Structures are given as structure tokens and as C-alpha cells.
Amino acid sequence: MNGNITVDVAGGPTGGAARLRVEFHRYLKRTGRTDVQVIGEERRVGPAWLLRREVVGPISARRVALNNVSFVTPGGQRWTLLRNALHFLTEDEMSRLEPFLITAIGSKTTVVRMAARRSDVLVVPCTSMAERIAMVIPSLHSRVVVRPHPVSADSIPILPRDPAILCPVLFESYKRMTGRLTQMLSAIDVCGDSSLQLRITATKAQVPADLANNSRIEFLGPLSHRELCDVWGRSRVIYFPTDLESFGYPLAEARVSGHPVIGLDTEQNREIAGSALCGFTSGDPVSLRSALALALTKKVTPDPEPFDPDTYFSWLLGTPR
């Protein structure tokens, strides 16, 4: 066994998986580490890749899977990032999903849970995710470590902020974004600021006609990380209303960049967003209007310390030898 670290970065090209890879590659470039072997670039997580990666390269002292599925064969410590709440849902949460989605995640969930039992260390980005795992598979409790995902302090450029609310959410069916956007538009109408725009990372084709034709909405479509950071820097407030999240990168980004973020008033969101959170209660329009009013006047001091990438990756990969 040698002293190298193997890291599997296979995963989706958007969302949290892509965001995490950005920080990981920035860290490697910044530190110049030569003891880390990266595999899985531009690959999806599927049966063919999961089989192949077990025999890629020499046996390492530590093998890290950034993509929810642990290495399973013997040889070196196996560390796994579990960062998808859909793999550890409660029965009540499952009952509220569409049948097609339950089918889609079923086989993946089985693989993730089976592989997790082979992992030596399970890294999760927040306390509630740790609780999910302990509830579903109690025997894994002692292997779970909570570490918030990394976010660089300079991720978001300092720019003049427009009278705009950015909603950087991937439009998946279980996130119920049509209703959440409609609720925010109603809150904006009540607040009395006719200049406010709602920017969303979706296209007109992804929303009903009444939203597609709403003059307050600016449709950004899919954005690269760099493009999103630029729009973020120019936005006044962040809107992140979803509830089935293992972390919620926009919450952390808002805290790091000093942007007020409107999100559900939950323990998880308070843990991640800190003082940047302007919380509201789901289904309560008065609560949402109050959160919006607070966000439009609140001054948030940037707080990058809890998400320092060097601290995170030095721990995850071990210090260089």
C-alpha cells in the first residue's frame, strides 16, 4: 500500500456535485498537492463506472468518494461524502413524492445504502443529514462526521447590487418551484417596490404560462458556476425555499458573501446560513412577506470561516506527506 489518496469525482455536471468539484480543483491547484490521484472526471455515476473505479490505479492509503457511493473492495480507508437527502427519506417524505421519482431513486438508494455499510468514514454536510442516516441505518451512526461543504471566501465578486432577488434552484419536480415562485411574486407585489425583479435559473419552458409571461421574472436558464457567481454578485437578495436538501449551497454562499437569504425557518437552514437567514414558515404568506421585508433591509456581514476549503480538504484528504 502506498501513501497516495484516490478521489472519485464522478457525478452530475450541475448542482451541488459540480459546485463541490469547483472547490476541490481550486484546492488542488492552490496547494499543488501531488499525493492525490483524481479519477472519474466527466463521468456519470453508474454501474459501469462503479465497477471500473475499484481497479483504477494503485491501492491507496485512502479512497474518497465525493459522489455518495462508497468504494467497496478492501484496501485503504474508504471515505464517502453522503450529500443527497433523497437516499435517506422518511416514510412521510416518500409519500409526497411522485411515483416516477420513487421508482427513479429506488435502485440508487439501495446501492448508496449498501455501499455506505462498507465505508469507514461517512462525511455529511449538516446535522440533519447525519440524523437521517442514523434513523435509516442506526449501525452507521458512529461512522458519520458532520463537516459543512467548502465555499471559498472569494467565490462571489463584490459588485453593485441590483433590485433583484436571485433564486438559484435546479427545477426538479419534488422541489415544487411553481408554487414557491408564485408565493414569492405575491410577496413582492405586496412589498410595494415596483423595481424588484425575480431572477431564476430556469427557462420559460420549465414554468407554466402565467409565470413565463410575468414581467417580474428574469429567466437566466442554466448557468456555469462562473456565470452564476457574477449574477449572484449583482443580486440584492437570495431566495432558496426548498426543503429536501442535504445541505443547500445557496445558504452557505449567502453567508459567505454577505447576502440575505430567504429560506425556510428550519434548524438545518439556521445551521448553514447563520445570521444571513431570513426565515419563513412554509405555506404562510404573512411569514414570507415578513422575511422579504427583512431581507430587503438587512445588512449581512460576510462569514466564510465555517466553510474554509483548506481546512475542509486538508481534513478530508489528510495533510500532505
pLDDT at residue 287, as a whole number: 98
Tell whether 191 and 244 lie within a shared domain. Answer: yes
pLDDT digits (tens, 9 = 90+) for 181-204: 999 999 999 998 889 999 999 999
In a domain, 159, yes or no: no
Q: Is the pLDDT of residue 2 over 50?
A: no
Q: Is the pLDDT of residue 1 over 50?
A: no
- Measuring CA to CA, which residue among 243, 15, 18, 20 is closest to residue 128? 243
CATH code of the domain in which 244 resides: 3.40.50.2000
Q: Is the pLDDT of residue 231 over 60?
A: yes
pLDDT at residue 161, as a whole number: 96
pLDDT digits (tens, 9 = 90+) for 69-93: 999 998 889 999 999 999 999 888 8
Number of domain units in the chain: 2
Tell whether 114 and 171 lie within a shared domain. Answer: no
Average pLDDT over residues 26-47: 94
pLDDT at residue 3, as a whole number: 57
Q: For the chain, give the mean pLDDT.
A: 94
Query: Which of the pair, 257 or 319, is modelled with greater confidence?
Result: 257
List the single range of 19-28, 170-179, 195-204 with lowest mean pLDDT: 170-179
Q: Which long-range contacts (CB under 8 A, 24 or more apart) does 76-80 make?
A: 76/1, 76/6, 77/120, 77/121, 78/118, 78/119, 78/120, 78/121, 79/119, 79/120, 79/121, 79/123, 79/316, 80/115, 80/116, 80/119, 80/121, 80/122, 80/123
CB 149 within 8 A of CB 20: yes
Tell whether 184 and 96 lie within a shared domain. Answer: no
In a domain, 94, yes or no: yes
Tell whether 25 and 74 lie within a shared domain. Answer: yes
Share of the chain above pLDDT 70, in %: 98
Tell whether 122 and 172 lie within a shared domain. Answer: no
Tell whether 201 and 296 lie within a shared domain. Answer: yes
Tell whether 288 and 175 lie within a shared domain. Answer: yes
Tell whether 135 and 111 lie within a shared domain. Answer: yes
Average pLDDT over residues 141-169: 96
Tell whether 130 and 192 lie within a shared domain. Answer: no
**pTM for the structure as a whole:** 0.93
Tell whether 126 and 21 lie within a shared domain. Answer: yes
- Measuring CA to CA, which residue among 236, 243, 238 is closest to residue 281? 243
Domain that holds residue 136: 5-152+307-317
Tell whether 100 and 179 lie within a shared domain. Answer: no
Query: Which of the pair, 100 or 208, is modelled with greater confidence?
Result: 208
pLDDT class of 12 with cuts at 50, 70, 90: confident
In a domain, 298, yes or no: yes
pLDDT at residue 58, as a whole number: 65
In a domain, 202, yes or no: yes
CATH code of the domain in which 14 resides: 3.40.50
Average pLDDT over residues 296-320: 96
In a domain, 158, yes or no: no
Tell whether 32 and 74 lie within a shared domain. Answer: yes
